[in-house]
Amino acid sequence: MSYYSAYPHRTICDVIEELRKCYETRNFSSALGLAEEIQSMGNRMEAALSDKADVESWTKKRKEMSKEMKKLNEEIEILEEKKTKLEKNK
């Protein structure tokens, strides 16, 4: 049975720790690649935060529009009833 995790196998902290090891050993051959990996992970985190804010604002807007639509549908029903009464009186 395989286990699925929603978390990445490597975190930014893991990559930074590797970068520290590069400094300790004074072997900077992989430092640029690690910096790019950190940048990539940071960009994904920022995008996810932005998406979350968008979802929250759209959810709020959907609720407001839902209330407005319900109110308009009630008004339509009232107007249709009035129209029906007028047609019967003719």
pLDDT tens digits, 13-67 = 999 999 999 999 999 999 999 999 999 999 999 998 888 888 888 899 999 999 9
31 CB neighbour count, 10 Å cutoff: 13
Residue 7 has pLDDT above 70, yes or no: no
Cβ 41 vs Cβ 15: under 8 Å:
yes
Q: Report how far residue 18's alpha carbon sits from residue 29's, in angstroms, rounded to the nearest whole number.
A: 12
Q: Does residue 10 surpass a pLDDT of 80?
A: yes
What is the total residue count of the chain?
90
Q: Contact at 8 Å (CB) between 44 and 73?
A: no
What pTM does this model have? 0.54
Q: Is the pLDDT of residue 6 over 70?
A: no
pLDDT band at 77 (very low <50, low <70, confident <90, very high): very high
